Structure 1
Amino acid sequence: MNLESILEYNPIILALVATSFTWFVTAAGASMVFFFKSINKKILNSMLGFAAGVMIAASFWSLLKPAIEMEEGNGGIAWLPAVIGFLAGGAFLLIVDKILPHLHMGLSRDKAEGIKTTWQRSILLVLAITLHNIPEGLAVGVAFGALANTPEPGVLAGAIALAFGIGLQNFPEGAAVSIPLRREGFSRLKAFNYGQLSGIVEPIAGVIGAYLVLTITPILPYALSFAAGAMIFVVVEELIPESQTGNETDLSTIGAMLGFATMMLLDVALG
């Protein structure tokens, strides 16, 4: 199947398929719990750094840059949607971060963020990764929704590259949920289920993002920038600090560099 034939499909359906793929990769990462009971801290930090690098590159190459070019092509003020959407995306995730109860890896139960709750530590750990996945699904959905406005093979290739890149970094995220849960006494099957469930928000957010872009076409540059701002918030607030815990911080930095280079390669080469 070539790109031209794929363009014949509804962008919402394409967004659903793409985000289902990213959810599947999360599940594949979570399945590592069937083979390992623990994960080396150096490896975990490297994987989290890689995920951060992918998200930073995707935020610019797949979202902000197209938003600026799109607004410029429409004769508008090129930077305006990018700045407004970017800050709005960060503000949205800040609000969610303050409301949604969640717990970052390696922290005690009393360090949980968001609204105070009696939920179990395991649920809070899953919600922390779920928080990562909201902007990722939204970004993929908006990228495919853009096809309604610009049904071109290059735009489709860029959306596919974004979905592939997001999926690639979802693998370590799935493992980062399920393996610690196994170490805390959960059965392998239960730890896997929790791990893969953290990615279920991606198809939901993806379909919502694509639908909004299709129904309100003028918001596309803002929507792309919004997704970028939300992803950068997650990277700076959570992924980078978590990847820098411990003594081997160079490994997480190298992982971030490799992640950025990988996503940039995918987007530039395919898009």
Structure 2
Amino acid sequence: MSNLVDLSPPLQALLAGLFTWGVTAAGAALVFLRRNPSRLTLDVMLGFAGGVMLAASFWSLLAPAIELSEELGLPGWLPPAAGFSLGALALRGLDTLLPHLHPALKDGSPEGLPTHWKRTTLLVLAITLHNIPEGLAVGVAFGAVGSLASASLAGAVALALGIGLQNFPEGLAVSLPLRREGLSPGKSFLYGQLSAVVEPLFALLGALLVQLARPLLPYALAFAAGAMVFVVVEEVVPESQSAGNGDQATLGLVAGFVVMMVLDVALG
């Protein structure tokens, strides 16, 4: 931690984004196992990922956004409400425009603009799209250190750890469907981990933005929260509930929420 303290927030954010990318790669690497995890295990892991994202959205993002808004002399609810709404709408816009395919869709039809891209490409784009707010969340958390009284390096690290934990099942959730589509284990792993390449990029971007303009910080924190909640409700929860393991997946979500809450409160 002492070496990390000496680095600038954008560089800290970049390293944290590389870490979350690496955990995604670790999850995607499970495709090399001869015996893949059961669907029940995958659904519980996806539920866990959703719980982590929901808890992080409040404790790591919305709560600091409310506090900073009041410090800036603004109504405590205004920047968080605006940023949260914009984050959800931005993800909805990308969802509408970017061609992608959700594994949970029973009819297997792609979303976004019409395209002739392969199913494998559409599957990877679906997770890549949803990794953007995670990278952004990590970036603004590190960028907030020094700009917000309640923002600590330990809290930002806790968020990166939480995002990393939930990236593990996400990596597997990409590589396994690709393997079922007929790709080799090597290509399934390659595309699975590649879905998280946006995380270090958006982590760096988020940190740079809030470092350059402190008044944007409450909006940026809430924006990342809104985008993550959109992802959880629109993709993670439906996918975890689509195979008849709803109760187990829900308990996984509760466990993920508690783990992220404890990480953030204890370390932040």
Q: Which amino acid aligns with 2:258?
A: A
* Cα distance in 1, alignment partners of residues 81 and 212 from structure 2: 22
* Cα distance in 2, alignment partners of residues 62 and 136 from structure 1: 12
* Cα distance in 2, alignment partners of residues 134 and 123 from structure 1: 17
* Cα distance in 1, alignment partners of residues 149 and 251 from structure 2: 37
Q: CA deviation at 1:150?
A: 3.8
Q: CA deviation at 1:186?
A: 1.0
Q: Which amino acid aligns with 1:142?
A: V
Which residue in the other structure is 2:163 paired with?
166
Which residue in the other structure is 1:203 paired with?
200
Contact 1:39/1:179 (8 A) holds in 2:
no
TM-score by length of 2: 0.96
Out of 236, 240, 244, the position equivalent to 2:233 is 236
Contact 2:9/2:207 (8 A) holds in 1:
yes
Out of 8, 15, 23, the position equivalent to 1:25 is 23
Does 1:245 find its partner at 2:229?
Answer: no
Contact 1:135/1:231 (8 A) holds in 2:
yes
Percent identical: 59
SS at match of 1:182: helix
* Cα distance in 1, alignment partners of residues 235 and 182 from structure 2: 25
Which residue in the other structure is 1:51 paired with?
49
SS at match of 1:31: helix
* Cα distance in 2, alignment partners of residues 268 and 151 from structure 1: 15
User: Relative to 1, partners in 2 of residues 1:37 and 1:129: Cα closer, same or farther, differing over 3 Å?
Assistant: farther
* Cα distance in 2, alignment partners of residues 106 and 88 from structure 1: 26
What aligned pairs does 1:180-191 form with structure 2 within 5 A after superposition?
180-191=177-188
* Cα distance in 1, alignment partners of residues 175 and 49 from structure 2: 17
Which residue in the other structure is 1:16 paired with?
14
* Cα distance in 1, alignment partners of residues 123 and 24 from structure 2: 15
Q: Which digits, 9 at most, give the CA deviation of each residue in 1:190-240, with x for residues without a partner?
A: 110000000000011111111111111110011000000000000111111
* Cα distance in 1, alignment partners of residues 90 and 104 from structure 2: 25
* Cα distance in 2, alignment partners of residues 190 and 109 from structure 1: 25
Q: CA deviation at 1:94?
A: 0.5
Which residue in the other structure is 2:120 paired with?
122
User: Relative to 1, partners in 2 of residues 1:179 and 1:231: Cα closer, same or farther, differing over 3 Å?
Assistant: same
Q: Which stretches in structure 2 are left out of the alignment for 5+ residues? A: none
Q: Which digits, 9 at most, give the CA deviation of each residue in 1:128-170, with x for residues without a partner?
A: 1111200000000010111242488x51111100000000000
SS at match of 1:111: coil
* Cα distance in 2, alignment partners of residues 158 and 256 from structure 1: 21
Q: Which digits, 9 at most, give the CA deviation of each residue in 1:52-91, with x for residues without a partner?
A: 1000000000000011111122332111111000000001
Does 1:255 find its partner at 2:252?
Answer: yes
Q: Which digits, 9 at most, give the CA deviation of each residue in 1:222-262, with x for residues without a partner?
A: 10000000000001111111111122210110010000000
TM-score by length of 1: 0.95
User: Relative to 1, partners in 2 of residues 1:221 and 1:106: Cα closer, same or farther, differing over 3 Å?
Assistant: closer
User: Relative to 1, partners in 2 of residues 1:37 and 1:124: Cα closer, same or farther, differing over 3 Å?
Assistant: farther
Q: Which amino acid aligns with 2:235?
A: E
Contact 1:36/1:179 (8 A) holds in 2:
no
* Cα distance in 1, alignment partners of residues 92 and 230 from structure 2: 8
What is the Cα-based RMSD across aligned positions, in Å? 1.6
Q: CA deviation at 1:110?
A: 5.1
Contact 2:30/2:36 (8 A) holds in 1:
no
Does 1:267 find its partner at 2:264?
Answer: yes
Contact 1:37/1:183 (8 A) holds in 2:
no
What aligned pairs does 1:48-127 form with structure 2 within 5 A after superposition?
48-107=46-105, 111-127=109-125
Contact 1:28/1:174 (8 A) holds in 2:
yes
Contact 2:104/2:238 (8 A) holds in 1:
no
